[in-house]
A = this chain, B = another copy of it.
Amino acid sequence: MQELPNPSLYQRNLLIDDKFKVKEAEKLLSWFKDEVDFQMNIFLDKKIEEAREISEEATILVDEVKRFVFAGGKRVRPAFLYSGYIAAGGKAHAAVTLASLCVEFLHTFALIHDDIIDRSDTRRGKPTSHKAFENIHKSKKYLGDREHFGLSSAILAGDLAFTFAEEILTSSPFPQERLRRARYFFDQMKFQVITGEYLDVLGSYKKRLTEEEVLNILEYKTAKYTVERPLQIGAMLAGAEVAILESFTAYGIPLGQAFQLQDDILGIFGDAEKIGKPVGADIREGKKTVLIAKTYEWASKKEEQLLDRVVGNWAATDKDLSRVKEIIYSVGAYGYAIKLSHRLIDQAKTAIDKDKYVGEGKEYLLVAADYLLNRIS
């Protein structure tokens, strides 16, 4: 059997670049992550007390949002919001840290609902929200359909996280006009992630998507959502001119797409422990990726038959998965995805180089990009 590429090697090749200050990034963003977590903890404890005023049992719903939030995550979206704020000349570090929780709570909401839609039982090695509520149903000996209780409660836990995202903005100590402009981009972000997720759902009920369709979903569901919108919200909170937004788009969209490509490659070629889900889950689930779209495009008739049998088939064997991986590699889709992600990263870097940012703006954006691309889970 042909030797398959080693994804850790891939990572190293892709990421070691003397412009990217890996150590500094990790230090800076791990400090920022701690700050975000600290604020999030205070906020959620306050909400638990508010729930207790309604009823002791109502606290369970907020408890679950808290458990989910602290089960993992690198706070990538707050980091971009923060970087956008600094790059646009903002100085109020404490205020923007608090405001940055809005994109993290939005992400919490999106993940909880996504997990229901994808029928995932675990995320980052821990139970998803609907599974956690099934466990509560069991331990509290509630009556009735356990699975439906898990589903119902998780829908509401997601809704609650959505509400928290808004409350954070309402109580952010920024001039109202800046908040109004930030909200415009936040509203866009929400609209696009929800419609993007819907396209993703539609995609999973279709046999195949073209590369163009996949890239369109990525643009809305990942690139705008993870990078561009958080940067823009940060810039608006700093009172920036609209001109800076174009450069954020030129940087954010390719970076976000590169990130998703990397995630898709790791989802198939990465190791289970690092990516936090079983090897081959993406293939068995039939996840629509550029990698799979290109593989179909370039596969022979015989290979296509094999793909049809294995992709999206939960009963596929490990041997089947290995053969699909070999095809992805041999038809050139793997190399194509690597090259495309390199090109997108170069594009993002060029966009930063071209523009003049205030103070340490440029460095923050480079560092945030590196942080994103080092992200595993």
Binding site for B on A (CB under 8 A): 47, 50-51, 54-55, 57-58, 60-62, 109, 113, 116-117, 119, 137, 142-144, 148-149, 151-153, 155-156, 159-160, 162-163, 166-167, 170, 176-177, 179-180, 183-184, 187, 190-192, 194-199, 201-202, 204-207, 216, 220
Contacts and interface: CB of A to CB of B under 8 A. Distances in A.
Contact of A194 (B60, B149, B156, B191): B156
A194 B157 CA distance: 8
Contacts of A117: 151-152, 155-156
A144 B205 contact: yes
Given A55-B199, A137-B205, A155-B116, A163 B149 contact: no
Q: Which of A47, A119, A204 has the most CB of B within 10 A?
A: A204
Contacts of A180: 170, 176, 179
A202 B58 CA distance: 9
Nearest to A189: B163
A190 B163 contact: yes
A199 B57 contact: yes
B163 A183 contact: no
A162 B160 contact: no
B176 A148 contact: no
25 contacts: A54-B192, A54-B196, A55-B195, A55-B199, A57-B199, A57-B202, A58-B195, A58-B199, A61-B198, A116-B152, A117-B151, A117-B152, A117-B156, A137-B205, A142-B202, A142-B205, A144-B204, A149-B201, A156-B201, A160-B191, A163-B194, A167-B187, A170-B180, A170-B187, A176-B176
A205 B146 CA distance: 9
A200 to B, nearest CB: 10
A143 B57 contact: no
7 pairs of A and B residues whose beta carbons are closest in the complex: A176-B176, A142-B205, A117-B152, A58-B195, A163-B190, A170-B183, A167-B187
A207 B140 CA distance: 13
Contacts of A163: 187, 190-191, 194
Given A54-B195, A113-B156, A163-B191, 10 more contacts: A58-B198, A60-B198, A113-B155, A117-B152, A142-B202, A144-B204, A153-B198, A156-B198, A160-B195, A163-B190
Contacts of A142: 202, 205-206
A144 B190 CA distance: 27
B166 A187 contact: yes
A205 B156 contact: no
Nearest to A51: B195
A201 B119 CA distance: 21
A336 to B, nearest CB: 23
A201 B143 contact: no
B166 A190 contact: yes
Nearest to A118: B152
Contacts of A202: 57, 142
Contacts of A149: 201, 205
Contacts of A160: 191, 194-195
Nearest to A146: B205
A216 B183 contact: no
